Copies of this chain bind each other. A is one copy, B any other.
Amino acid sequence: MKPETSADARQLIAATGLEARQAIRAGLWSGHTSGTAPHYVQGNVVILPEALANDFLRFCQRNPKPCPLLAVSEPGDPSLPRLGADLDIRTDVPLYRVWRHGELVEEVSDIRDLWRDDLVSFVIGCSFSFEQPLMDAGIPLRHVEQGRNVAMYRTNIQTVPAGPFSGPVVVSMRPMTPANAIRAVQVTARVPAVHGAPLHLGDPRLIGIADLDKPDFGDAVDILPGDMPVYWACGVTPQAVVMHARPEFCITHAPGAMLVTDLLNSELAF
């Protein structure tokens, strides 16, 4: 595994998506991409054999809030020209996870050795793309202020199944004042390609979350007096669904180590 690079250093190296991918491809870092090229769209990555790709494509189409699909490759083709002319999905993600029959077998920073002619790459929008517009709108994000990963929870909201893919929607939760929650609905509704408007506001029990202090993924966050929890569909949903389907072979990005694209966040907003 390559050495970690600080967020400040990553911003210095990589102001654009292209610069970020060049640095990652050159082996300059293999860690989180939070704060990297902050105006550029980052994506969740799922790479599946063609035999499962049609089912997964239908799954994404049926569940656009947790699985907003930014691009799908041709089978065996490692390029994704819509997301970056030079983009090679085999080298441009900082850290990959390799899965066999639903079990994590290794983490690697390059998958050229593992590439197959039947692999199809899916890139799915990520909440990093709406956190920047939220902060630009003057809405403080508690987990950022508190230096933590966002809190994520399995809900009792079921995805619409397709083939072997099914399971609950995972949400990320950001506490904020009610006035900011209203602004946040407005800001994120304008970016349906990165999860869009929230799924839920307020009482966690109404969507099957028993205890906000015990997230299923990420870190618990301190909720300030008067804050209201706001819940968005989360890009962890497709990963959880894929792991549950136990495909014979699958590659994903490692948590937080996203694909950085050439799309501007602002291009996604209507």
| A residues at B contact (CB < 8 Å) | 178-179, 181-183, 185-186, 189, 197-203, 206, 226, 228
Contact = CB atoms under 8 A, between A and B. Distances in A.
Within the oligomer, what is the number of copies of this chain?
2
Nearest to A197: B182
B179 A200 contact: yes
B202 A182 contact: no
Contact of A178 (B186, B202, B226): B202
Nearest to A226: B206
A26 to B, nearest CB: 43
Contacts of A203: 178, 226, 228
Contacts of A183: 197
Nearest to A201: B178
A206 B197 CA distance: 24
Contacts of A199: 179, 182
B186 A197 contact: yes
Contacts of A228: 201-203
